[in-house]
Structure 1
Amino acid sequence: MNDSLLTLLKKVDTPTVCNAIEVAQGKRGFARFTRGTMLASAPEEGAMVGYARTAKIAALAPPTEPPEQIKARRMEYYRHMATGPRPALAVVEDLDHPNAVGAYWGEINTTVHKGFGLSGALTNGVMRDLGDLPAGFPVVAGSIGPSHAFVHVREVGTGADIMGLRVEEGDLVHADRHGALVIPPEVIDQLEAAILKLLDTEKLVLDPARSEGFDFDAFEAAWAAFEAART
């Protein structure tokens, strides 16, 4: 992913990327996106983009493994998040979902991850400390809650299932207040052009629709131009 594409991906929302992937593929049916409603800690900050650094956590019940094993895995987790290609996102599956109760993403943990150079976090689990999370590190989560409960790391680097989306270690993820998607590697080279084409094509309808005197005849002409541009 070059700098130009990265800059563009940060500027556009996830639905735009979803549509642009289909433009690049030349067909409808792209399906590597989250299902259901997700919550964004800072919707005004826009999209986050990065290569997935994955893990799995749980919090509903206390861990059954020896404390030293839990501590060692915790340090393995942080070492994993602190390394790897950048830009990167923490993609962490809460194994308790849909009954997740432990807020892994609060003020301290988000600040640590931001310090590691990650661009944000995606989880089906819980976030908290809204209003105190650091700027520039958005979290897209499955829910909001007050407690960390018995949160502990279960697995590191084994991929994650987030609201119906399977994310493998190293996948390129785009996420915002709409949810998240995985960008297929085979469209990377065409994606920038596809996004720009999509934005230009949408203007064929949006510009007339926002103009004075817009009526059905104007719509019909605009839609014909829109359909022609998409083929």
Structure 2
Amino acid sequence: MGQVPAHALTAQLTEILTSVDTPTICNALEVVTGSRSAEGFTRGTFVSAHPRMRPVLGFARTATLRTAVPYTDPAAVLKERRLRWYEHICGAGIPTLSVVQDIDDEPGLGAFWGEVHSNVLKGLGVRGVLTNGAMRDFGMLAEDFQILAGSVSPSHGFAQIVDIAVPVKIHGLVIHDGDLLHADAHGAVVIEHEMLEALPRAIEVITARERPLIEASKRPGFSVDHLRAAMREAEDIH
């Protein structure tokens, strides 16, 4: 399996993939591979900045973070590292997601994500954030900028970027810099290059298979016999 090259993610594909939620993408990936999987997606619950927001799709720009450890580097070094991180996540026309692992023993002591960073990153063209760290400033966060965080904290603690463009692990999912991610309030899933072109058709199949069950369940007098017939109809859809 390989990473999706930026040129392969067309505007048409982006529209199709973000028109459905992340669980549908997970189901569609099973159609593409022909089997279920226990890998490739996050586990557990995130705090979502905008729970009803349309899914986001973008290439991971990874980093690690600390908020619980007092600063040891000079202020100039911390500032320069922060600026290098801003340069890295700025996609220059490529849709990016900031993926940051809080590597403290107790992730989320301080919130790196709030009113300021949500607006700064949105201004840089970043589509959203995925982190096991904390967020804050509800009601003041940038609109249409998704943040999926592991927790909430009122303070930023000793927030500092540590490493940039390194593999990270967010809620059980190992993410490499450059991975293509689909994410919404449910969590995130990695889309491999070999799966990308087949996903639109797989989404159609998943939607078509679910329709008979949902429609049957809403009819008056719905019974197990009706359900059995709907299941047969769904199974015939490929």
Q: Report deviation, 1:111.
A: 0.2
Aligned-partner SS, 2:127 = coil
Rate the CA distance shift 1:98–1:165 in 2: closer, same or farther, 3 A.
farther
Q: Which residue of 1 aligns with 2:6?
A: none
How far does residue 97 in structure 1 lie from its aligned partner after superposition? 5.7
- What is the DSSP-based 3-state SS (H/G/I as helix, E as strand, rest coil) of the residue aligned with 1:130? coil
Q: Indicate whether 1:83 and 2:54 are aligned.
A: no
- Tell me the alpha carbon deviations over residues 39-97 of structure 1, each in whole angstroms, 9 at most, x when there is no partner: 11101113111111111110001122233222211111111122356211111111126
The answer on 1:131 being equivalent to 2:139 is: yes
Aligned residue pairs: how many? 230
Displacement after TM superposition at 1:179 (Å): 0.9
Structure 2 residue aligned with 1:184: 192
Query: What does 1:61-210 correspond to in 2, within 5 Å?
Result: 61-83=69-91, 86-96=94-104, 98-210=106-218
Q: Distance in 1 between matches of 2:218 and 2:31?
A: 25
Most deviating of 39-48 and 148-157: 39-48
- Amino acid of the structure 1 residue aligned with 2:172: G
Query: Does the 8 Å contact 2:60/2:177 carry over to 1?
Result: yes
Q: Output the CA distance in 2 between the equivalents of 1:181 and 1:102.
A: 26
Residue 227, structure 1, aligned to residue 230, structure 2: no
Contact 1:51–1:85 (CA<8 Å) still a contact in 2?
no
1:51–1:88 CA contact under 8 A, matched in 2: yes
- The 8 Å contact of residues 107 and 132 in structure 1, kept in 2 or not, is answered as yes
Contact 1:97 1:124 in 2 (8 A): no
Distance in 2 separating the partners of 1:228 and 1:203: 13
Candidates 59, 64, 67, aligned match of 1:59: 67
Query: Of the candidates 19, 31, 56, which is equivalent to residue 27 of structure 2?
Result: 19
| Contact 2:118/2:145 (<8 A) preserved | yes
* 1:167-194 Cα shifts (integer Å, max 9, x gaps): 1111110111111111122100101111
CA contact (8 A) 1:50 1:172 kept: yes
Q: CA RMSD in A?
A: 1.4
Alpha-carbon contact 2:91-2:125 (below 8 Å) kept: no
Whichever residue aligns with residue 216 of structure 1, its letter is V
Deviates more, 1:103-112 or 1:221-230: 221-230
Q: Does 1:38 align with 2:51?
A: no
TM-score (structure 1 length as normaliser): 0.95
Matched AA of 1:221: A
Shift of 1:225: 1.5
Q: Which amino acid aligns with 1:89?
A: L
Q: Relative to total residues, which structure has the larger helix share, 1 or 2?
A: 1
Give the Cα–Cα distance (whole angstroms) in 2 for the partners of residues 84 and 97 of structure 1: 34
| Structure 1 SS opposite 2:77 | helix
Give the conservation status (yes or no) of the 8 Å contact 1:21–1:30.
Answer: no
Please, which moves more after superposition, 167-176 or 57-66? 57-66
2-structure distance, mates of 1:29, 1:86: 29
Give a deviation string over 1:128-175, Cα, whole Å, max 9, x none.
Answer: 001111111010110111000000000111132101111111111011
Where do 5+ consecutive residues of structure 2 fail to align? 1-8
Query: Distance between the aligned counterparts of 2:93 and 2:177, measured in 1?
Result: 11
- In 1, Cα distance between the equivalents of 2:131 and 2:101? 6
Secondary structure at the counterpart of residue 100 of structure 1: coil
1:213 aligns with 2:221: yes
